[in-house]
Structure 1
């Protein structure tokens, strides 16, 4: 039966299924058995306690007997049926070598009789037993050592039966698997304690799990025994693969405690040149014949480029076929090419002693685009031809011609010349045959005028030369024109590209546009009806250098007058400034109560777009319209209130292309939504400051409507700080804060209130420059009252954690409320993006602020910065600093870095509920809850396994202990140690006092 599937497709499906099956098999955990009583053929001879005396019967003690397992095979078992439940009966195995395992598993098969079915039933009858273990480096156990008690033995668990034997009931055995560890010594003993049970221990199997050898992602990992919860395994690249990249590291993978490989390997292995990945990245196979792979990497093999081949497998490059070549600048993945054919249809135009040659391009360019031409001139006598020499000039040049014509000047009259035009490309020199060329013989016209000689200089300036020469006599024709060739003479001589030509009908000429203090070589020749004569012998002339200022009294006088006028203007401006400043100090209406001056006439003031009768007019006035063809959207990076936020490129004619952020207005919008969306653009368009997000323009003439701003590579400040927790120094953080304060100072001076200043609304670029953004909540600051405020509309959303108390209570927003919000931003920055007031509800935050609670200093926060935060959080808004004061204070800290080393310690003063909230102490009763409170729950299992099972034990942890627990990130260490410090403080200070 045919399904219509081609054989190639069937082979591909079979390979994929095979690779998947191999992968599934390779991930199964391996087990290595350390002990199995079912395989023992002789007596186990384990140690029991108490041991029976010589005359005492073994009744009620552990007894080794023979029995049959479920497959009727003979096995050795231990059984006990205590008649007196008051005694504790022990059974201990022989020493079991752990063979490098740190965690082992014990599989127990046993039966147990129900207490109600026993004839000697008493209250102490139990249906459980205990499992212990004891570690030792030597087989030193004796009937009396170690002591038969829980310490030195370590208890594993109390084992209860799932199935109990009863009279007339079904006979089922129990299977329990328990885990032991961590094991550190060479071996260990197992011990079983019965305290009133009637049971039979049918078999004991001790084993550990290990990860099998694995091949994945072109890496081979060896069989690995997990030494801890997760064991790192270092692999190596498969055959014909190698590490690739400047920072490549050996492949790594993690082996879990249960013998399973965890996640995908971190591997930098790639197939070597000439090999490609195959069988689901399990091997690197050679490229087939006719294919190649130039560099290491994940790409497949490619067919050989045109005019190249390879006859062997595993080729890193293909060789050119005979007659084809690659230039030195060609890469090995480019096609092979050959030299061009010769140019053809060479056509001369003779003008007495000058010739213009034209030709057609070669029929075959050789497959290249770097075609050029060169011209060779030879003068032929009766027997031989010699090069024309320097007396002949070429326009535009002799070699490297990209056009198909050239003019040759300065030929001798009535002389036979041979001109050869050669076509060359990048591989012409590699050809055995050499470049292809086409030649032609021509004979020049009759005798031309005699040489012009005797060039003299009339005058010279910094940029010109005036030259003249005598008119030649005894000429056969009238002189129609003179031609001069003048060349700038460099230290290494005269270069052809620096030569220029000038024609004149008289025997004098002015050469202009020359360089000062430069020597020029000048030649002249005459043109008659029979053509040009040859150039005269070159003569040198030099332009003048700059004139000395001291040698020109008029220039000195002019300079002195100019300097005097400048000084006079400066004095007048200074006097006007002083008079105006004095008037302002005397006029109370121009001064506010804190000594800061309102902006005078001529200073730009923010204009609220909502004051316009037509809001679209504000958009047209403050935002530039951009043609939609200049914007290219590349990817969506987020979502805003009105639509998506994208990253793209902006290419405005005449300017460099740059990345931009694009806010789009989703379809189906109302007129109000469109006005609200564009109002942010009409607000941003009024601001021009390095710490305020820059508006590039808007697009309203097409759909969707867009707002285009500069692109900030690192995104929002809060998420950026959380991503780089502990990675910045205090001076770097202060630099960020200074930029934010500078931007807010600019806004406040423009009488603008932001209302939503928070780290989430600060954007960071690649140079760590912070810029204020998101002007959706802010409004114009009215100046027509003694108490300038903004009253929001009822029901307006307010960010409680960042808002000043008077703004929360009375909806009164001022620049002083922005200062309060700035203090919260300072706390966010110094805590690397921690949420202000942590998990407290908004109502709790409001109540705490009303009771004069303030946020404590973040870990390692400089004291000066926390004091500045407290100044920003003054209850009376008139007592808060202005943004100009904040910028000045931060500048002083930056100029004095030593002041940032004085940190604010939580334990320096009494504690208060917010400190307890931050440390997670007020409601945490366990280590797990404490770790979740400080968002470090990833380390929960490590803490528990290390024995930290109570809050009291945590106070003894130090930095070295954290490293042993696997806490290696510096930011996580700081956060945990800070919280532990708070734990110690709470233990020392039983009373909570207001901060």
Structure 2
């Protein structure tokens, strides 16, 4: 026993080690200066001294390595060091491990105020090894900055010598190779070693699937595998196994695979391989599960068997599964006992001693008639009747009648089971011989109806024609058919004639009637049951009754048609005059168009949630990080893994604890609304989790977040055609909502989400809003207190609360203005009341800078005061499609200096050095305050110093976006500061 335990432990340890080795990321080294045996001969910008110097040094293990060092007196100039071309091979992302030492500024003998304890790392991609001492230029652009590297440990006099190790990531890489570049600006340091490598997921065998070594080219890289030997994927069109390789070289979660072992093979070594079944074992089909020992009375003499054959004398029935034991036919029934009643017979017997190992035992009776001694017996024929049957008898009793009087019969009772037909010898049976009595009554036949009333039936039957007996009396048995064999539903009546009247019956009721005859030997058996019905009956209805029914039916149909016409007229009138407001829950539309249904029209709002939102098991969701806060709780990013589907990222809205039933209903109402929509520009609902806490709503994850903040972050980085493409997607989503008769009521750029492919999707399908009263700054407020700014709302919605698709069109015009101004706040810093007053005086927002004229005209169309004059969303989609097909039309912009005529709307007052005051004020005025620290660190402390700024200066400040460069240089020109050394703007 102890030895067995040790073997099991050793096996588990081996499996665990194999699993750990498979999941550890592989690294492929592209360059390692520690392994170089000769000079590195890297390139430096030798325009100034001191410069990077290559010398021999010692690493952390005191091994001799080639190093570069530099010690600058001050940081007034940059000193660059560039490696040789490094082939990237198949990697799209690589890692750089740096080992270096850095001397503390305070420990240096020549300490300067610009001394630094950091250096910068850059890279430059190229398809050819064409770098020289002057190409590419020694500046950030065309180089790509990786990071500013700071030392964790600094060398000081008398201090401990420690090495710094930093690992940084580069990518994505697209060209054949790249150069590394190091920039020192006032540092005293030694670069001890540089190791460049990339990570890859190692070859892996898991879940009976083999996956090749995979290099990740994105956040997760899909790898396609194949089944291990002796394994297959079931189904007519199987998909290959798939698994995802993470960017860190680690396999992500479990593979998506249906690989299963072939028949005759079982999974072993933790689903690493398919092992053949040994002799005496089998596995019937492909799929999970181990090999099994052959069932009873079966065997197999070879390995890898899918079934076991039966031993001699044993069989399987055609309906038996190959994994069931083999069986044999039963032995004969025992002790048959006859009871003869004239020409009828009752046979009973005992069960066989051996059932053959089966439970499907039945019996059959073979009847043979023997007319005279010495004459061969012959089959009885069709004149003999059996109850319950002659074959397939489940019990051990059978009644037989219809025998001839004074005749000898031979009866054989046989036991059978499912394998009896397979034996050559045939079923085993026990035989008895009996002789019938001379006087036997026969069955009565020909029972039929002569007349019927509501309470009586007059019946007649044929008189038996046999002459060797005399019928003394007939007996009728009649039962209500609907009540079956209930004791009080059956009645009996005797008659001396072959006709009888059954009275006191129920009206319009079916009766089951049987007749039997009595002779001197007693009653015979009842004949076949016949069903009769009392009046009224369809077959017995009088012409007058039929006429009455037809007249009544016609009048009923006429009433229904009149009522339907009145209802239709009222409904049309109601639909024509109704407003599509918050109160309207459901709209009727022709031609089979799907219509939005308000969940609050349900008597139980939870019913709407169950109808439109799919419940997801909480075990399928993994929350990774909190990305924001919503009205009801936190908003998280997570992963959704539904069995049989690819894992994907989802956004998760949670309902915080301590909620009321109303808050729960209000929270889930958004899911019951969102679940009704299926459109590529509408945020998709993945499902809900209500069976556990916290309650969650899961939607597709939009990587770039809200449209307004995304545009502000990428100010000037998109062309007009790209912006129009975004607007077209939003309009398409709103067209879909309007066709479903859904009014959004809060369309704004903050409620548009953007994914990684720049696809815009409409979101935020929350509760209805109402106007907050008695406020100096009127805003719409939801039932939970969330404010919605007036500046997106149409005039009629503000004044009369008339929310329609036309009011959504007004809001869409504001969204257009937000997009074309890269997230600028509509109406700038005006108060809500000022906005309302300006709009009432027919003033509208001016075109944003560089806005195409056609787009601003479309905005003005959306801002028509009369809602009927505004375009529909279908018209807007068509107009945007026309602009996309004709990109030249987007180059027509408003005249320079054109702007609003109303002073409240004229927010573009000219900038002057006096109006700006400081560099910080100027940057905030042009919405470039993110670069304030960079300007101040580089010494730009006054407006006059801006006159000499160039594009190269902006690159050095870390301003690499072409749109931001253009905006800053244009603003400097507008300030009236003459730029003495203008630099070219990069577009």
Residue aligning to 1:19: 15
Q: Secondary structure at the match of 2:214?
A: coil
Matching residue within 809, 812, 815 for 1:907:
812
CA contact (8 A) 1:275 1:301 kept: yes
Residue aligning to 1:31: 27
TM-superposed deviation, 1:42: 2.6
1:558-707 superposed matches below 5 A? 691-692=602-603
What CA distance in whole angstroms lies between the structure 1 residues aligned with 2:4 and 2:796? 71
1:885-896 superposed matches below 5 A? none
Q: Secondary structure at the match of 1:147?
A: coil
What CA distance in whole angstroms lies between the structure 2 residues aligned with 1:26 and 1:7? 29
Does the C-alpha gap of structure 1 residues 760 and 207 become closer, same or farther in structure 2, counting only changes over 3 Å? Answer: closer
Residue aligning to 1:264: 254
Matching residue within 399, 402, 411 for 1:407:
399
Does the C-alpha gap of structure 1 residues 268 and 910 become closer, same or farther in structure 2, counting only changes over 3 Å? Answer: closer
Q: Secondary structure at the match of 1:224?
A: coil
Is residue 432 of structure 2 the alignment partner of residue 440 of structure 1?
yes
Is residue 143 of structure 2 the alignment partner of residue 147 of structure 1?
no
TM-superposed deviation, 1:188: 0.6
CA contact (8 A) 1:60 1:84 kept: no
Alignment deviations for residues 878-909 of structure 1 (CA, whole Å, 9 cap, x no partner):
xx99xxxxxxxxxxxxxxxxx98996462346
Residue aligning to 2:275: 285
Is residue 226 of structure 2 the alignment partner of residue 230 of structure 1?
no
CA contact (8 A) 1:375 1:421 kept: yes
What CA distance in whole angstroms lies between the structure 1 residues aligned with 2:271 and 2:425? 48
TM-superposed deviation, 1:507: 5.0
1:534-933 superposed matches below 5 A? 555=545, 691-692=602-603, 758=666, 760=668, 836=767, 851=778, 853-854=780-781, 904=809, 906-908=811-813
CA contact (8 A) 1:481 1:503 kept: no
CA contact (8 A) 1:354 1:531 kept: no
What CA distance in whole angstroms lies between the structure 2 residues aligned with 1:757 and 1:849? 32
What CA distance in whole angstroms lies between the structure 2 residues aligned with 1:343 and 1:690? 71
CA contact (8 A) 2:80 2:182 kept: yes
CA contact (8 A) 2:118 2:149 kept: yes
Matching residue within 390, 394, 397 for 2:389:
397
Residue aligning to 2:363: 373
CA contact (8 A) 1:124 1:196 kept: yes
What CA distance in whole angstroms lies between the structure 1 residues aligned with 2:139 and 2:344? 120
TM-superposed deviation, 1:116: 5.9
Is residue 163 of structure 2 the alignment partner of residue 203 of structure 1?
no
Q: Secondary structure at the match of 2:780?
A: coil
Q: Secondary structure at the match of 1:263?
A: strand
Residue aligning to 2:969: none
Does the C-alpha gap of structure 1 residues 51 and 416 become closer, same or farther in structure 2, counting only changes over 3 Å? Answer: same
Residue aligning to 1:419: 411
Is residue 125 of structure 2 the alignment partner of residue 220 of structure 1?
no
What CA distance in whole angstroms lies between the structure 1 residues aligned with 2:162 and 2:663? 74
TM-superposed deviation, 1:258: 2.3
TM-superposed deviation, 1:135: 0.5
Residue aligning to 1:627: none
User: For this pair of structures, how many residues does the alignment match?
Assistant: 652
TM-superposed deviation, 1:33: 0.9
What CA distance in whole angstroms lies between the structure 1 residues aligned with 2:796 and 2:406? 98
CA contact (8 A) 1:422 1:436 kept: yes
- TM-score scaled by length of structure 2: 0.53
Residue aligning to 1:337: 327
Is residue 65 of structure 2 the alignment partner of residue 75 of structure 1?
yes
Q: Secondary structure at the match of 1:434?
A: coil
Matching residue within 180, 185, 189 for 2:179:
189
TM-superposed deviation, 1:123: 5.5
TM-superposed deviation, 1:49: 2.3
Alignment deviations for residues 8-67 of structure 1 (CA, whole Å, 9 cap, x no partner):
444333333332222222222221111112222233232232279xxxxxx733343444
Gaps of 5+ in 2: 479-491, 504-512, 564-577, 579-599, 618-631, 639-661, 678-689, 691-741, 752-760, 784-792, 829-848, 853-898, 907-987
Residue aligning to 1:779: none
Does the C-alpha gap of structure 1 residues 455 and 328 become closer, same or farther in structure 2, counting only changes over 3 Å? Answer: closer
Residue aligning to 2:52: 62
Residue aligning to 2:377: 385
Q: Secondary structure at the match of 2:8?
A: helix
Alignment deviations for residues 369-395 of structure 1 (CA, whole Å, 9 cap, x no partner):
332222211123524222111222223
Q: Secondary structure at the match of 1:175?
A: strand
What CA distance in whole angstroms lies between the structure 2 residues aligned with 1:98 and 1:831? 41
CA contact (8 A) 1:445 1:530 kept: no
TM-superposed deviation, 1:134: 0.9
Does the C-alpha gap of structure 1 residues 365 and 334 become closer, same or farther in structure 2, counting only changes over 3 Å? Answer: same
Is residue 124 of structure 2 the alignment partner of residue 134 of structure 1?
yes
Residue aligning to 2:959: none
Does the C-alpha gap of structure 1 residues 182 and 559 become closer, same or farther in structure 2, counting only changes over 3 Å? Answer: closer
What CA distance in whole angstroms lies between the structure 1 residues aligned with 2:93 and 2:9? 41
TM-superposed deviation, 1:757: 7.3
Q: Which moved more, 1:108-117 or 1:411-420?
A: 108-117
CA contact (8 A) 2:228 2:274 kept: yes
TM-superposed deviation, 1:212: 1.6
TM-superposed deviation, 1:138: 1.0
What CA distance in whole angstroms lies between the structure 2 residues aligned with 1:83 and 1:532? 134
TM-superposed deviation, 1:535: 14
Matching residue within 144, 162, 167 for 1:177:
167
CA contact (8 A) 1:353 1:533 kept: no
Residue aligning to 2:348: 358
Q: Secondary structure at the match of 1:146?
A: coil
Residue aligning to 2:43: 47
What CA distance in whole angstroms lies between the structure 2 residues aligned with 1:458 and 1:30? 94
CA contact (8 A) 1:96 1:187 kept: yes
CA contact (8 A) 1:213 1:222 kept: yes
Q: Secondary structure at the match of 2:340?
A: strand
TM-superposed deviation, 1:283: 3.3
Does the C-alpha gap of structure 1 residues 44 and 553 become closer, same or farther in structure 2, counting only changes over 3 Å? Answer: closer
What CA distance in whole angstroms lies between the structure 2 residues aligned with 1:826 and 1:511? 80
What CA distance in whole angstroms lies between the structure 1 residues aligned with 2:188 and 2:350? 112
Residue aligning to 2:943: none
TM-superposed deviation, 1:104: 1.5
Alignment deviations for residues 69-90 of structure 1 (CA, whole Å, 9 cap, x no partner):
4555443333444568655433
What CA distance in whole angstroms lies between the structure 2 residues aligned with 1:906 and 1:191? 50
Q: Secondary structure at the match of 1:356?
A: strand
Residue aligning to 1:428: 420
What CA distance in whole angstroms lies between the structure 2 residues aligned with 1:211 and 1:271? 25
Alignment deviations for residues 478-510 of structure 1 (CA, whole Å, 9 cap, x no partner):
443569999xxxxxxxxxxxxxxx997645235
TM-superposed deviation, 1:187: 0.2
CA contact (8 A) 2:670 2:765 kept: no
Does the C-alpha gap of structure 1 residues 552 and 82 become closer, same or farther in structure 2, counting only changes over 3 Å? Answer: closer
Alignment deviations for residues 730-779 of structure 1 (CA, whole Å, 9 cap, x no partner):
xxxxxxxxxxxxxxxxxxxxxxxx999746489989x999xxxx9xxxxx
